[in-house]
Amino acid sequence: MLDSISSGHQAYDTLNLHQSFSLEITAGLEVKNGEGDTAAVTDRISIRRQASFALTYSSALLVEVDETEGYRKLQDLVTNLLKEQGIATTVDTGGGEIDLTDLTPDEAQELVADDGYFGVEKTSDRIVEFAKAVAGGDPSRIDAIREGIEQGFEEARKAFGGWLPDISHETYDAVMDKLDQWVSEAREAA
């Protein structure tokens, strides 16, 4: 969470970080005596740690940071992580391939713009068409389709630390609206 506070003419930003860790170990042992009696012993160890701390820094420091260099470092990090996991760094957009390793901030912005390949409209269209194809074009399977889409978005949320950008929520809403429209049109046609 990012909070802004101002003091005089100097602005400060605070970045609040939260960390949570949980580990539980359970071990069981079953003991039999000579008379055939059995006793069970179970040990459980739970370790939990939660920490929160705030980093406060002057927004003047942000002006000194070269945004292009910061973007490039982040891009290199993500690209290397994808490559290490065997994930391709090229995306086929229908109009050609885009190599994520060479993507500039302006090109990335174009891709997520309203009419961009990864914009809400085109992404939601692809998700809905895929879902309809998996369901065999059968609108009576809408509950299973919705459940699968909800599960996919929830897994994405977990993968990103419990947070998704606004464009993801807008895409989710657009997908659900388009599915409602599909079911409605199918009922009217029946």
pLDDT along the chain (190 residues), means of 10: 42 61 64 71 65 58 54 75 78 81 84 89 93 90 93 90 91 96 91
Own/partner contacts of 42-47, CB < 8 Å, gap of 24 or more, are: 46/22, 47/21, 47/22, 47/23
pLDDT of residue 77: 78
Average pLDDT of the chain, as a whole number: 77
Q: Dig out the tokens for 20 from the structure.
A: 């949570």
Q: What does R_g of the chain's alpha carbons equal in angstroms?
A: 25
Widest pairwise Cα distance in the chain? 83
CA distances from 79 to 24, 75, 106 (A): 34, 6, 18
pLDDT of residue 65: 44
* DSSP H or E run through 84: helix 67-84
pLDDT of residue 68: 67
- Length in residues, the chain: 190
d(CA 38, CA 175): 57
Q: Dig out the tokens for 80 from the structure.
A: 């290397």
Which pTM does this prediction carry?
0.56
d(CA 79, CA 154): 24
pLDDT of residue 184: 94
pLDDT of residue 3: 43
Cβ neighbour number for residue 85 with a 10 Å cutoff: 7
